[in-house]
Amino acid sequence: MSISTEPLDAAVAVRDLLRRLEELNEIGISLSRERDISRLLEVILLAAKKITNAEGGTLYRRHQADDNLLHFEIIRNEALGIAMGGTTGQAIPFEPIRLRDSSGAENTSTVVAFSVLRDCTVNIADAYSEKGFDFSGTKNFDSRTGYRSQSFLTVPLKDHEGQIIGVLQLINAKDRASGRITPFSDADRQLAESLASQAAVALTNRLLITQLEQLFESFINLINEAIDDKSPYTGGHCERVPVLTMMLAEAASAAGAGPLAGWKMTEKDRYELKIAGLLHDCGKVTTPVHVVDKATKLQTIFDRIELIDARFEVIKRDAEIEMLRARLDSRFSTRGAEGSILEHSFRARLGEIDDDRDFLRRSNIGSEAMSDEDQRRVLAISTKYRWRAPDGTTRDFLSPEEIENLTIRAGTLTAKERQVINHHIDITIKMLEALPWPRHLENVPEYAGGHHERMDGKGYPRGLRRDEMSIPARVMGIADIFEALTAKDRPYKKGKTLTESLHILGRFKLNGHIDPDLFDVFVRERVYLRYAEQFLDPEQIDEVDHSAIPGFQN
């Protein structure tokens, strides 16, 4: 008497299929969440191995740059302990597989190439008995390793346009009960094809998003290159501020104690801040070049100190003429005592003129803060000399506009010119707020637009206080100031040393200019030094005494 096991076997098969379908659904959800291309490819292969219970597998990609090649991306084999590509960091040493040779003949003897060329799944029960394909390489591999490559399941990955973008090849299906190597079943094939379809969609979406991100970042770089081309003095700023911003943000995110211990950045946060850093000065595309590049106080299209020099020469010429006329009128002897006095007075006059000229030339540089006394001397020189203009009129030595420029207390910009410079942040905010940002980048305008605000509300353009600003915006404020202090490519000053720059930042902390907690992290974690080693000249990198920095709390 025998009892039929068919209903029991059928029930087991149904339960197994339902389990694998549930796994397939979970895998689909997992694929849609993965952002990193390498991890995504790894997830695809590992999921295919799991769902078919395969011992090994390889995932190939077909790159847009050369669609005649199939590149090895991920290789796994449990029996041999092989794990290459993906997140392993282990490079795959194999050359890509060609779909066609140099003459254009199709490579149909190789299974993965055949699968692409014929757009079909290939299910091979035993490679050693299969006819029509060249498995010599597989057999050589087996002879070297003692492995036995038997069953193969090769499935093409097609995108939404029907283009084959890769191939999934699984090796040696194992029976779940006995562990024996068996052919891949028809259910394995269907599940692998379904997974391949989901994987291709996920991979295509990820590639499209990556390409869009690359396009977007390239467009941002074009804007910064336009600023760089427009003004070589600020182009490096657009490159360096984002780097320093990320350095400080990472240090703040890693803080294990203190006021910032609870603030952490996700990958989404990092990307959002990176984009904000790249765009923080995009409004400078509208800033006039003659203002951005103003190297001296009197510079416009050219440095007008040369015009003042010419006036001094006119004054000196007039003094000489006056002296010569005095001699003629008085009939002085060139060797008489009175003639000597006149000559001495003339020479003293020339020395006084030259001294005033040198003073104005120094005042024009604008690298140091100007004292009240020096400002008064500029005004005195303006009325001390009179000169005859080409139209025959007699004028004060300096025009009101020249006086305004030469008495600038610090730097080279007048109040109006500084307003022009500051206006770039209004334009930056206007440009960025006009863009339809996706949700993961919605804070870019706030981050980029806040780097000139102050913690005490005295900044611009909106006069925000510390509690009204996000931490990333405050981070960018410190990065922007420190880069400006240490920059060696400004037309009006040399880059400051680390000690000088940190002392200025420390005073900024004390007067409510910058965020105090972020400044302490900046110093304590030596963010400034990592930045300096990458961007500053050796003579700027001096030994910093943390205990002497104003306001720093370790």
Per-residue confidence of the chain (554 residues) as pLDDT tens digits? Answer: 344 445 546 565 556 555 665 665 566 556 666 667 788 888 888 888 988 999 999 999 998 778 899 999 999 999 999 999 988 889 999 999 999 998 999 999 999 999 999 999 999 999 999 988 999 989 999 999 999 999 999 999 988 888 898 999 999 999 988 899 999 999 889 888 888 888 788 888 888 888 888 898 898 888 877 777 776 666 578 889 999 999 999 999 999 888 999 899 999 999 999 999 999 988 888 878 777 777 788 888 788 889 899 889 888 888 888 888 877 766 544 455 666 777 788 888 899 999 999 999 999 987 668 899 999 999 999 989 888 777 888 888 999 999 999 998 888 888 888 888 888 888 999 999 999 999 999 999 999 999 999 999 999 899 999 999 999 999 999 999 999 899 876 665 678 999 999 999 999 999 999 999 999 999 999 999 999 999 999 999 999 999 999 999 87
Instruction: Spell out the residues 6+ positions from residue 88 whose beta carbon is closer than 8 angstroms to its own.
Output: none
Host H or E run for residue 150? none
Backbone angles phi, psi at 242, to 5 degrees: -60, -35
> Under a CB-based contact definition with an 8 Å cutoff, are residues 57 and 76 in contact?
yes
Spatial distance between the Cα atoms of 142 and 77, rounded to a whole number of angstroms: 13
- Map residue 112 onto helix, strand or coil: helix
Smallest Cα–Cα separation from 397: which of 424, 357, 427, 449? 357
Q: Please check whether residue 296 is in contact with residue 303, taking contact to mean a CB–CB distance below 8 angstroms.
A: yes
| Helix-helix angle 267-279:232-253, to 10 degrees | 160
- CB-based contact 221:278 (threshold 8 Å): yes
DSSP per residue over 11-79, as a string? Answer: HHHHHHHHHHHHHHHHHHHHHHH---HHHHHHHHHHHHHHHHTEEEEEEEE--TT-TTEEEEEEEEETT
Measured in whole angstroms, how far is the alpha carbon of residue 459 from the centre of its chain?
A: 25
Q: What distance, in Å, lies between the first and last C-alpha atoms of the chain?
A: 87
CA distance 320 to 323: 5
Contact 272, 444 (CB under 8 A): yes
DSSP run (H or E) holding 123: strand 122-124
CB 51 within 8 A of CB 28: no
Cis omega before residue 461 (within 30°)? yes
From CA 448, how far away is CA 436, in angstroms rounded? 16
Pick the closest to residue 44 from 149, 138, 159, 166 (CA basis).
166
Helices 337-365 and 372-384, packing angle to 10 deg: 130
CA dist 338 → 326, 386, 494 (Å): 11, 27, 51
Phi/psi at 71 (5° precision)? -90, 135
List strand residue ranges (DSSP E) for 445-549, in order.
none
- What is the rounded CA–CA span in Å between residue 217 and residue 102? 37
pTM value? 0.70
Please give the DSSP secondary-structure letter assigned to residue 105.
-
* Whole-number pLDDT of residue 8: 46
Q: CB within 8 A of 170, min separation 6: which ones?
A: 48, 49, 52, 54, 56, 57, 152, 153, 154, 155, 184, 192
pLDDT at 294: 77
Which residue matches tokens 């991920």? 74
The CA distance from 122 to 192, in Å, is 11
What b-and-e string marks burial along 94-130, b requiring 16 or more CB atoms within 10 Å of the CB? eebbebeeeeeeebbebbbbbbbbeeebbbbeebeee
Bridge partners of 96, per DSSP, are none
Separation CA 27–CA 252 (nearest Å)? 35
Could you tell me where the beta strands, DSSP code E, fall in 262-411?
386-388, 394-396
Please say whether the beta carbons of 442 and 415 come within 8 A.
no
CB 514 within 8 A of CB 478: yes
Backbone angles phi, psi at 182, to 5 degrees: -130, 165
Q: Where are the beta strands (DSSP E) in 159-283?
A: 164-174, 181-182
The whole-angstrom separation of Cα 17 and Cα 188 is: 10
Which amino acid is located at 121 in the chain?
T
Instruction: Of 377, 438, 375, 449, give the one whose Cα is nearest residue 405.
Output: 375
Three-class DSSP category at 397: coil
Total number of residues shown for the chain: 554
